[in-house]
Structure 1
């Protein structure tokens, strides 16, 4: 298929640095999400294990979904990977329920922006965490119920509990920071549960059994590629996310665009903390 747009993710940066939780053999072409045209002219969203930073890409038919006319190329690209990850972190891994309180870190990232909105749409209370006023304001604009700045991790667990003002049921871990992880786990209430996002966290530290046992807490991991073989789960999530965005119920994050040949600059921008989504476009789709 012919590439229109490819998304840039934290996983791409970690892979390039060989700091991903799964080591890679070099050379390789980064990129796992794309929007493109099939040979018969259909505009589709798709996933690859790697290799989306290219003008033409081979993609399994089972990992292609038609893009609604209401979404432009970059909006659809901004939804594809990060929307799927956010959906499955909440609904597949954590199985969130209405009225639960959930902690969402890195709230100004693309995954965090979708997770905040999807949790609110599911009827949950959201405690959004990030670093600095600009990034926290993004969470406020998305109607997070409370925000916590984790620039300084001293006393973070207490600040999370204070912001929640009650029992905390669930949390996502996707920062890769040991202190933030420990504070989030501490802040979880009795029988609280946490999911670790393997796509965005290079964290490799050990987890204290005492921290789990004393609060009857649970931790699970999540990584999207194994779901590539679950066509029902992938297809339902993609259809739901696209439909929500098409009617304006799910807002895409602010995004910036780079020509495909400037992928290095795009990675630098993401690593520097750009909030929202970064997208690569071949020159013929630079508009």
Structure 2
């Protein structure tokens, strides 16, 4: 089968497009013919290599996969060949602590075929496209869990989203709006800000020309005079961490589900205790988060923005676009 893969960890130059053996489903598993693969920053982290995480080599990234069941492993019941499905990308055995992630710890969907446990599958409604389904798991599942299960956002609150133009960022903008929140979207260019306003953000701030903490203080007031926002979403960390803390109002929340801008960050200790803010971490998503998002698309209430759809043969260029932060929304690869 054709695939985009790497034989060693490294920069973009280690990616190859070529032939790899067709995978066979183990008992209890199925093989999928990939119809659409949604890319995430996780694809970049996996290729570069992450401390403490062992990745199967040659490695195939791609954790988000809309596909058609092509072959059933022994013992699989309740599923038939030809069904359109969307896997939950991860599998956790909480009794042993064993964690598995499609496209990370095991080969993923940047290929013509991949294998997955039958227990991880959910059916794709007929009125949901392969591209829209493949956009959901990692970005929208993560955003939904972070905003709702962990962040407990409420209608009427103001939510500031840093890095709002990417997959998780646009998901946060759309899901917060659906929840009845006012959304301030921060992105790195005027073009991205304009696109985010088109998607429904109430306000957009170009953080390459405006300091986000200064903007929030000037438009809402200082901390001790009621200024700031209820919720700040920051999954970039790095240099954005301390400024984002200074945007949180008293008793507000700072939500974090990643560190695409760097894992090391400076904490503004005075703002931490003076605001009495809550800093809340969120990891991944649960099956029910993915089901909610898929149902929202089927109802016509959620329309994931897709920046581009690429052929598998152009998969390396698709990864480059994400790495260079040249997209608004999701990038989809179709074998």
> Shorter-chain-normalised TM-score: which range?
0.7 to 0.9
Partner of 1:54: 111
Structure with greater helix percent: 1
- Asked if the contact 1:148/1:160 (under 8 Å) is kept, the reply is no
2:215 to 137, 142, 159: 159
2:48 to 17, 27, 41: 17
Report if aligned partners of 1:148, 1:163 keep a CA contact under 8 Å in 2: no
Cα distance in structure 2, aligned partners of 1:22 and 1:97: 37
CA contact 1:10–1:199 (8 Å) conserved in 2: no
* Secondary structure of the structure 1 residue equivalent to 2:300: coil
Q: CA deviation at 1:256?
A: 1.4
Q: Which residue of 2 aligns with 1:132?
A: 189
Between structures 1 and 2, the one with greater strand share: 2
* Pair 1:2 & 2:16 matched: no
- Number of residue-to-residue matches in the alignment: 271
* Aligned mate of 1:270, from 318, 322, 327: 322
Shift of 1:237: 2.0
**What's the TM-score once normalised by structure 1's chain length?**
0.86
- Is 1:174 matched up with 2:235? yes
| Cα deviations by residue, 1:247-274 (Å, 9 ceiling, x for unpaired) | 3211211331222243221111111222
TM, length-normalised to structure 2: 0.74
Task: Find out whether 1:254 has 2:294 as its counterpart.
Answer: no
- In the alignment, structure 1 residue 108 sits paired with structure 2 residue 165: yes
- Distance in 1 of aligned mates of 2:262 and 2:45: 7
Compared with structure 1, are the counterparts of its residues 128 and 257 closer, same or farther at alpha carbon in structure 2 (3 Å cutoff)? same
Moved over 6 A (4+): none
Q: Is the 8 A contact 2:35 2:334 kept in 1?
A: yes
State the Cα RMSD in Å: 2.2
For residues 136 and 121 of structure 1, the distance between their equivalents in structure 2, rounded to whole angstroms, comes to 19
List runs of 5+ in structure 1 lacking aligned partners.
228-232, 283-287
d(CA) in 2 for partners of 1:63, 1:262: 28
Q: Unaligned regions of 5+ residues in structure 2, if any? A: 1-31, 72-79, 91-100, 222-226
Give the match for residue 85 of structure 2.
44
Q: Is the 8 A contact 1:7 1:31 kept in 2?
A: yes
Q: How does 1:217-228 map to 2 (within 5 A)?
A: 217-224=277-284, 227=285
Structure 1 CA distance, aligned partners of 2:220 and 2:302? 24
Distance 1:21 1:190 in 2: 36
Q: CA deviation at 1:23?
A: 4.5
Indicate which of 25, 48, 66 corresponds to 1:35. Answer: 66
In the alignment, the residues of structure 1 paired with residue 52 and residue 162 of structure 2 have an alpha-carbon distance, to the nearest angstrom, of 23
1:175-228 residue CA offsets vs partner (Å, 9 max, x unmatched): 2441x221111110111211112274542224344432222112122221xx5x
1:74, CA displacement in angstroms?
0.9
Matches within 5 A, 1:57-96: 57-96=114-153
The alpha carbon displacement at 1:24 in A equals 4.2
Asked whether the equivalents of residues 64 and 135 of structure 2 are also in contact (C-alpha less than 8 Å), the reply is no
> Of the two structures, which has the highest relative contact order with CA contacts closer than 8 Å and spacing of 6 or more?
1
How many Å apart are 1:21 and its aligned residue? 6.5
